Amino acid sequence: MVLVGGPTASGKSELAVELARSCCGEIVGADSRQIYRYMDVATAKPSAEQRQAVRHHLIDVVEPDEHYDAAAWLAAAREAIAEIAARGSLPILCGGTGLYLRALLDGLFAGPAADPVLRECLESAEDACPGSLVARLQACDPESAARLHPNDRVRIIRAVEVFELTGKPITAWHQAPDDSACLGALFLSVERDRDELNARIDARAGQLAGDRLLEEMRGLRERYPGNPRAFSAIGYKEAGEVLDGELAQSALADAIAQATRRYAKRQRTWLRGRREAVLIGPDDVTGAVRRIGEFLAKQKDIS
């Protein structure tokens, strides 16, 4: 299979479509927000024209209030990959969610499943005494405490949860070998100049910060009360703040751009750490096709 990764707004989706057209491929989405139905304005989903030109998978597959994690995505992605390959087509994974791509490339650690009761207790304890979760994590897993941002409540709760359920820190689970790791993948990392990427991010944020996003957010809140976790996605979080009077609409574009730039920086850092990633320009379709041809020929020789 071929993976096309890259920071948000880098042009990876457009490149993936061109590669699928050139290499008889189908695209499997690897984006943790594009999986949600009805969240369209701020998730940069493939356009109707792109979906008509190339078959896409794992877009619009769950409701925003449904629980969906990396394990669920990995199972669905593997199923889609097998179906695509059985049709004689090339599976092309495309997305910027590092957790999803890492799950596919490295496998998932065999840690415990989520415990809703324990999580609720941890949430309540943190609400009653802010900072208690970080202190708890520092005591049981100082390595994770040093790695995670103090405001990253979701991952902090998961790290504490794993220790409470198993007696081992989550870092120990991550280091355990996983025989479900992916073999035979070409990882193309879309690289774009940082200033150019930031300009594209600012332009996209300006396009988002209009009435369409606010209208969509109003409709989502009516359809899915209770503020599902999906609404914390960039764009929707800021739109919710506008609707709640916490952020002026005139500041919406800047808020979205700032959050997106921070996210893109984390994506670039993760991508630079993947030694197998092959850097490719967003417009270098010819070079990418050549790389794919060489990769497929090598895989054929190995088999």
**What are the structural domains, with CATH classification, of the chain?**
2-108+178-302 (3.40.50.300), 116-175 (1.10.20.140)
**Averaged pLDDT of the chain:** 92
CA-wise closest residue to 47 among 89, 90, 17, 22: 17
C-alpha distances (whole Å) from 85 to each of 25, 80, 261 are: 9, 9, 36
Distance (Å, whole) CA 160 – CA 248: 36
**Residue 172's pLDDT is what?**
80
Parallel, antiparallel, or unpaired for β 25-29 and 278-280?
Answer: unpaired
User: Is 245 exposed, middle or buried, given 0-12, 13-18 or 19+ CB atoms closer than 10 A?
Assistant: exposed
The CB density around residue 117, as the number of other CB atoms within 10 Å, is 7
Secondary structure of residue 30 in the 3-state scheme: coil
**Residue 43's pLDDT is what?**
96
**Residue 71's pLDDT is what?**
86
Q: What tens digit of pLDDT does each residue of 114-126 get?
A: 788 899 899 999 9
The token duo for 167 is 């007696």
Question: How far from the centroid of its chain's Cα atoms is residue 79's Cα?
Answer: 19
**Looking at the predicted structure, is the pLDDT value of residue 161 above 70?**
yes
Distance (Å, whole) CA 203 – CA 257: 9
**Looking at the predicted structure, is the pLDDT value of residue 174 above 80?**
no
Distance (Å, whole) CA 187 – CA 210: 35
Reported pTM: 0.82
The token duo for 103 is 């799950």
**Residue 151's pLDDT is what?**
85
Parallel, antiparallel, or unpaired for β 56-57 and 90-94?
Answer: unpaired
CA-wise closest residue to 39 among 229, 261, 236: 236
**Looking at the predicted structure, is the pLDDT value of residue 291 above 90?**
yes
| Residues 32, 283, 58: CA angle, nearest 5 degrees | 25
| Residues 180, 182, 186: CA angle, nearest 5 degrees | 175
User: What is the rounded average pLDDT of the residues 179-192?
Assistant: 81
Distance (Å, whole) CA 64 – CA 212: 18
| Confidence band, pLDDT 50/70/90 cuts, at residue 107 | confident
**Looking at the predicted structure, is the pLDDT value of residue 303 above 70?**
no
Higher pLDDT, 173 or 271: 271
C-alpha distances (whole Å) from 28 to each of 44, 233, 254 are: 15, 20, 31
User: What is the rounded average pLDDT of the residues 71-97?
Assistant: 95
The number of residues making up the chain comes to: 303
User: What is the rounded average pLDDT of the residues 273-301?
Assistant: 93
